[in-house]
Amino acid sequence: MARNSASILIASFQENYEQLLRFLTRKMNGDSERAADVVQDTYLRLAGTSDLDETIDNPRAYIYRVAGNLAIDRIRRERRMSAHVETDQAQSDILDPKPGPEKIVLSREQIAIMDQALSELPDKPRQALLLFRVDGLSHSEIADRLGVSNSMVAKYIARALKHCRDALLAEGKK
- Residues 36-92 pLDDT 10s: 999 999 998 888 776 656 677 888 999 999 999 999 999 998 888 887 766 655 565
Q: What is the CATH number of domain 5-92?
A: 1.10.1740
What whole-number distance in Å separates Cα of residue 159 and Cα of residue 152? 10
Q: What topology does CATH give the domain 101-173?
A: Arc Repressor Mutant, subunit A (1.10.10)
What whole-number distance in Å separates Cα of residue 142 and Cα of residue 130? 10
Whether 101-173 and 5-92 are alike in CATH topology: the answer is no
Where in the chain are the domains?
Answer: 5-92, 101-173
Residue scoring higher pLDDT (169 or 94): 169
**pLDDT value at residue 143:** 94
**pLDDT value at residue 9:** 83
What whole-number distance in Å separates Cα of residue 166 and Cα of residue 168? 5
Average pLDDT of the chain to the nearest whole number: 85
Residue scoring higher pLDDT (119 or 91): 119
**pLDDT value at residue 1:** 39
* Span 124-149, pLDDT tens digits: 999 999 999 889 999 999 999 999 99
User: Quick one: average pLDDT of 3-22?
Assistant: 83
**pLDDT value at residue 174:** 64
Query: Which DSSP string do the residues of 17-42 spell out, in sequence order?
Result: HHHHHHHHHHHTTT-HHHHHHHHHHH
User: Quick one: average pLDDT of 155-173?
Assistant: 88
